[in-house]
Amino acid sequence: MPTFALAEGERVSGVQIDLACGRFRAVNCIPDDWSLEIEGPVSEHSTLKAVANHGVSWLSNSSPLQDFATIMICSTSCFDITATVYTETGENEGKTRTFRRDQLRLEKLPDVAMRADSFP
Report if residue 1 sits inside a domain.
Answer: no
In a domain, 49, yes or no: yes
Q: What angle do CA 8, 104, 36 make, to 5 degrees?
A: 75
Residue 5 is assigned to a structural domain of this protein: no
11-20 β-sheet, strand order: 34-42, 45-52, 11-20, 80-88, 95-99
> What is the enclosing helix (H) or strand (E) of 37?
strand 34-42
Domain-embedded: residue 3:
no
Residue 64 located in a structural domain: yes
86 falls within a domain = yes
Is 87 a domain residue? Answer: yes
Cβ atoms of 48 and 34 closer than 8 Å: no
Domain of residue 72 covers 11-109
Q: Is residue 6 part of a domain?
A: no
Full-model pTM: 0.85
Q: Cis omega (within 30 of 0) on the bond before 120?
A: no
Q: What is the tally of structural domains in the chain?
A: 1
Q: Which amino acid is at 34?
A: W
* Full pLDDT tens readout for the chain, 120 residues: 778 889 888 999 999 999 999 999 999 889 999 999 999 888 889 999 999 999 899 999 988 888 889 998 999 999 999 999 999 987 767 889 999 999 988 877 666 555 544 444
